[in-house]
Chain A
Amino acid sequence: MQDTKQTESAPPKVPEYFPVDRPWEESGGLTHLVGMRCSACGTKAFPARGVCSHCCAQSGMEPVRLSARGTLYNYSEVHVAPKDFPTPYVIGFVDLEDGVRVFGQIEGPASALKPDQTVETTTGIVRVRANGTPVISYKFRGVPS
């Protein structure tokens, strides 16, 4: 956020991040979501939680870098949405290569997408608040086959 330049005429809004702790990491040109791995049973999940939903362990949840790539299970181009979301935008469910399913926005247009195609994690603007503040989060984009 410190690299945002303020200008006299139209001060750009400082972006917000969702979620605020930015659970993703860049590495070798790829973006990885950071989820959790239960050290007791090995279950991986995103987002991270305090208790393992599989074995109910209440400690030993380790941050884990999830696969950058996955397959697009399904998607939809949304045309009617709460007012913070400029339409149309595309959302979908992605099955990451390590088995974790993640919901998120997909870079469109929907006509360029198909079920079961490979996608990769990226980041970008997912909504714009009424005062113009962009909200940046993780999203996915198609990988040319």
Chain B
Amino acid sequence: MSAESFVVGVGMTPFGRMKERSFESIGQEAVLKALKDAGIERHQVDEVFCGSALTGRSMGQRVLRDIGMTGMPITNVENACSSGSTALRDACTAVAAGRAETILVLGIDQLSRLGGGTIPQLESDFDPNLGMVMPALYAMRARRYMHERGATSEHLARVAVKAHEAGKHNPYAQYRNDITVEEVLASRMIADPLTLMMCCPTGDGAAAAVVTTRKRAQALGRPLIRVAATALQSGVFKTGFRDMVQSELTMRTAKLAYETAGIGPEDVNLAEIHDAFAIAELMYYEALGFCEPGGGPALLDSGATRINGAKCVNPSGGLLCRGHPVGATGIAQLCEAVWQLRGEAGARQVEGARVALTHCTGGGVAGLDHGSCAINVLVAG
């Protein structure tokens, strides 16, 4: 990129079910917090990118209208679970192009308005007509992963326990409680082997960030958090065999992110990864290079991915505990990364964090690993 991008302000709503609130007010709360954190006025925003996946159209305009942020270019971005991260990438591209100096990025969704249950899939593919639901897609991955890697349901349960162990300290998390392996295993079966507590909750929320140039970041006097990579890839279509244990899409996106940032997986102090279902965390440990292929269960067992471990994963609680209002997730991950790199994460602070990675992937499209995968690298200083 020709110009570097820096995150100078972040803010988010607590995640949870907020059916009584309008999505506009949820989004406005996040936006106003991010502007305040950046120390800028609303009229200083040159351009806006808004990521959302399920709630509606023209989300950016609908959120910003009533706080008088109108007139500037607003681009609404839909890219399934990667919508928020894709919006961040677009913002950095606009900075790099020299087109805008100060950009607002918003991620938002309100799933409680959709009713309960699993997220509806588009029926133009055969799969949803035959009974495919997202939890079951991950359950099938889990079944194969357990077969090939020797992982057990207890490993899956321990991923959820670890998520809550960190997330209970996160004031923005949908759940703030400790859970036990026994409780996770005894919770209602959703899609074997995944029980309810191995699945992320549906919920509502918004997260926002202000992205700008190095010069303006320095002028604002905020801690310098550099966006060192915003890698985005889409799933590759296969008509035949696909390895559903090793995520080719996440591996490919991670390679691009590491190359762009000039780092390797060993340099990452903390990662916010897309644990929509507990099995995903084990798969993505491997795909992100935090361990060798096959090493997922052992890495979890080692404790290295807990808050005080050498490779902390999901200090926010991840999707399993913080929650997953789809379009908001990528920016919520960004918020966590920024707070961690500034040393502002309180009881869930990863000591000495300098490099953070955020990872989103999703979008059920038949024949693809996932619709998209987005990986960002954030570096302090």
Contacts and interface: CB of A to CB of B under 8 A. Distances in A.
Contacts of B240: 95, 99-101
Given A79-B190, A80-B191, A93-B244, A105 B131 contact: yes
Contact of A77 (B118, B130, B192): B192
A81 interface: yes
Contact of B191 (A18, A73, A76): A76
A15 interface: no
Interface in B79-101: none
A80 B140 contact: no
A18 B239 contact: no
B65 interface: no
Contacts of A47: 126
A133 interface: no
Q: Please report whether the interface of chain A is mostly helix, strand, loop or mixed according to DSSP.
A: strand
A89 B192 CA distance: 10
Contacts of A54: 239
Which size class do A's interface residues fall under?
A: 35 or more
B244 A100 contact: no
B117 A80 contact: yes
Contacts of B131: 78, 81, 85, 89, 91, 105, 126-127
Contacts of A139: 130
B21 interface: no
B143 A126 contact: no
B133 interface: yes
B366 A81 contact: no
B126 A103 contact: yes
B3 interface: no
A93 B239 CA distance: 12
A82 interface: yes
Contacts of A78: 131, 133, 135-136, 139, 190-192
Given A74-B144, A78-B192, A101-B240, 9 more contacts: A18-B129, A54-B239, A74-B244, A80-B118, A91-B132, A91-B136, A93-B140, A105-B131, A127-B131
The 9 A-B pairs of least Cβ separation, nearest first, read A76-B139, A74-B144, A45-B239, A74-B140, A77-B192, A115-B147, A99-B240, A74-B143, A76-B191
13 contacts: A18-B126, A18-B130, A44-B239, A75-B143, A76-B139, A76-B142, A76-B192, A77-B191, A80-B135, A80-B188, A103-B130, A110-B192, A139-B130
